[in-house]
Amino acid sequence: MPQITVDYSERLAGHFDRPGFAEALHSATVDIAAAKPPACKTQFRRTEDTVVGPDAEGHAIVHVTIGLLAGRTDETKARLTEQVLELLRQYVKPAEGLALHASAEVRDLDASYRKYDA
């Protein structure tokens, strides 16, 4: 924990500093949500197709989901979500003419969540 997943449009591949974003996001998650640095794990998933409304051209999407163990206040989750959006503004620089749709959510992991390290 935390489990972080970043879905992003393929069109952003060359315009998204993913390692820099992950490092900054891990730091923010530690500061805001009291996570432990070694526990922060981020997976990036590039998506091939992006359609916004009726338009498949000229758009790119980034959506960040952060799963935390239960116990954080709604205020803490909102602060972290706002920080995620600010970091996306810094680390994603879409090409000219490409509209960026960025979003984030912080959710509680289900009580059934378990993990192991090998």
Establish if 113 belongs to a structural domain. no
Write out the chain's pLDDT in tens, 118 residues: 799 999 999 999 999 999 999 999 999 999 999 999 999 999 999 999 888 888 778 899 999 999 999 999 999 999 999 999 999 999 999 888 899 999 999 999 999 999 888 8
Is 26 part of a structural domain of the chain?
Answer: yes
At 107, phi and psi to the nearest 5? -135, 160
- Can you tell me whether residue 1 is helix, strand or coil? coil
Looking only at the bridges linking them, the beta strands covering 59-68 and 99-108 are: parallel
Instruction: Please state whether the peptide bond connecting residue 2 to the residue before it is cis, i.e. omega within 30 degrees of 0.
Output: yes
- Does residue 117 lie within any of the structural domains? no
What pTM value is reported for the model? Answer: 0.93
Residue range(s) defining the domain that contains residue 81: 3-108
Tell me how many domains the chain contains. Answer: 1
CATH number at residue 96: 3.30.429.10
Q: In 3-state terms, what secondary structure has residue 90?
A: helix
